[in-house]
Amino acid sequence: MSDAYNGFGGIMTIVNENYLKLPGSYLFSEIGKRVHKFTEENPDAKIIRLGIGDVTRPLAPAVIEAMHKAVDEMADEKTFRGYGPEQGYSFLIEKIIRFDYESRGINLGVDEVFVSDGSKIDTGNIQEIFGLENKIAVTDPVYPVYIDTNVMAGRTGTMGMDGKWSDITYLPCTAENGFVPVLPEGKVQMIYLCLPNNPTGTTLSKTELKKWVDYAKTNKAIILFDSAYEAYIQEDDVPHSIYEIEGAREVAIEFRSFSKTAGFTGTRCAYTVIPKEVTGYTSAGDSVEVNKLWNRRQTTKFNGVPYIIQRAAEAVYSEAGQAQIKEQINYYMKNAKAIKECLEGLGYKAFGGINAPYIWLKTPDGMDSWSFFDKLLSEYHIVGTPGVGFGPNGEGYFRLTAFASKDSTDEAIKRLTSPISTSY
């Protein structure tokens, strides 16, 4: 035992050493650092950012109008609001249920929806209500938050030379298997699925998703279903919610966000659905309603989303709001189509971009992901996201987003399809 800890309280502050196991920095911070260095060295370069999935269209007029109105309410003694319910205001929850679920034949109770300030936050925090002994499964590649937050909690074991954590079950999703993950051979208890997928932009059919719900039911596992990109689905057989699958109410928690649906990345509003049937167990085998644990967690640790923002989110469901966000989504999906067609025209193998605002491409000539990142940045002044940043099976792949403006997207396409110039 070192001097730092004497077994009776310690003489120094001990940190959560799980943090020391994490890779140097969060993927998008690492990209930000590299881009910053490049712009310092090349101050005149006009960088096009197709890296982090951050939206660029301004908030819809209906949303802005509702936000202004809510600001005025806060300025008047008669309509001013102080602390709100941590779970969200019923005016928003009722709209969420009616428009996002009942419209698809799914019934939810108002106490099964928790409004929050982001799906990154909720998918990161949810693991906290589950025991450390649970085994987790993630697709590979995967949105890094699912893994990093489990590393912080101490649920992942150690990282091997292959970049994989010893206690995580990885479900490879590659061009070879059509990006369809295979069910784990052994038992896992917490399964993260993101559909439409970030980063690959691919989806699962209802039949494929049903296999996961059945697995979870058989094995008393819980599916953590991130559907932040559901508004981008264009094809018919793609489920928008996991609750479209029979039995999912018993085994699935669903995360949704206004970020990508309605341009709220800077405004922050999302929600998490936990049906009352979702059940966890004590080590003695007694069943526990997971909804109650999350409610306890949120009321203790979360202040709720500001009233003004929830009124803004509510306006997304007005007739005008729905039409305006549809227009925004179409705008981004036109970018996605153009990027994909450009890449295919250049001979790249490109995936996604049909039901999601991400295009996932195979790097040329077996180039590794970071080398391709450097090449794109230095030669074309375009920023993308290296596939390997999403997991070992992302090596040799690269992600581009459709979230830039049309002009920037067109300019990126022009650069990629013309002889390299020094004047970007």
Site for ligand MLT (CB under 6 A): how many residues?
5
Query: Tokens in use for 114?
Result: 């928790």
263 makes contact with ligand MLT (CB under 6 A): no
Q: Interacting stretch for ligand MLT, rule CB under 6 A, among 1-9, 51-59, 242-250, 373-381?
A: 51-59
From residue 191, give the alpha-carbon distance in Å to each of 52, 177, 350. 24, 19, 27
The CA distance from 89 to 314, in Å, is: 10
CA distances from 49 to 35, 183, 355 (A): 10, 36, 21
Contact segment (CB under 6 A) with ligand MLT among 52-60, 87-95, 171-179, 239-247 equals 52-60
| Token output for 226 | 């991130």
- Should residue 387 be labelled a site residue for ligand MLT when binding is judged by CB under 6 A? no
For residue 200, state whether it binds ligand MLT (rule: CB under 6 A): no
Of the pair 304, 389, the CB lying nearest ligand MLT is at 389
Q: Which is nearer to ligand MLT, 188 or 233 (CB)?
A: 233
Q: According to the binding rule CB under 6 A, does residue 198 interact with ligand MLT?
A: yes
Q: How far is the CB of 119 from ligand MLT (least distance, A)?
A: 7
At closest approach, how far in Å is the CB of 198 from ligand MLT? Answer: 5
Contact flag: residue 32 with ligand MLT (CB under 6 A) = no
Stretch that binds ligand MLT, among 48-56, 84-92, 176-184, 229-237 (CB under 6 A): 48-56
Spatial separation of the C-alpha atoms in residues 396 and 373, rounded to whole Å: 11
Residues 6+ apart with CB under 8 A from 275: 108, 112, 243, 249, 250, 252, 291
* Nearest distance, CB of residue 409 and ligand MLT, angstroms: 16
Q: For residue 416, how many other CB atoms are within 10 A of its CB?
A: 18
| Residue 125 vs residues 93, 257, 297, 306: alpha-carbon distances, Å | 21, 15, 9, 19
Residue 52 or residue 175: which is nearer to ligand MLT going by CB?
52
Q: Which stretch binds ligand MLT (CB under 6 A): 46-54, 201-209, 213-221, 310-318?
A: 46-54
Full DSSP string of 313-357: HHHTTSHHHHHHHHHHHHHHHHHHHHHHHHHHHTT--EEE-SSSS
**In the complex, least distance from residue 53 CB atom to ligand MLT, rounded to whole angstroms:** 3
Question: Of 120, 164, 381, 415, which lies in the binding site for ligand MLT, with binding defined by CB under 6 A?
Answer: 120
Sign of the C-alpha dihedral computed for residues 105, 109, 112 and 116 taken in this order: positive
**Rounded Cα–Cα distance for residues 107 and 399 (Å):** 36
Pick the closer one to ligand MLT by CB: 198 or 355: 198
Question: Closest Cα to residue 390, out of 64, 144, 150, 177?
Answer: 144
Q: Which of 52, 64, 180, 320 touches ligand MLT by CB under 6 A?
A: 52
Task: Please report, as a single letter, which amino acid is at residue 109.
Answer: G
Please identify, among the stretches 5-13, 16-24, 31-39, 49-57, the one whose residues bind ligand MLT according to the rule CB under 6 A. Answer: 49-57
- Could you say which residues in the range 299-318 bind ligand MLT, by CB under 6 A? none
| 180 is a contact residue toward ligand MLT (CB under 6 A) | no
Interhelix angle 307-315/61-74, rounded to 10 degrees, is 150
When asked if residue 196 is in the footprint of ligand MLT (CB under 6 A), the reply is no
Residue 369 near ligand MLT by CB under 6 A: no
53 belongs to the binding site for ligand MLT (CB under 6 A): yes
- Which spans of this chain sit near ligand MLT (rule: CB under 6 A)? 52-54, 120, 198
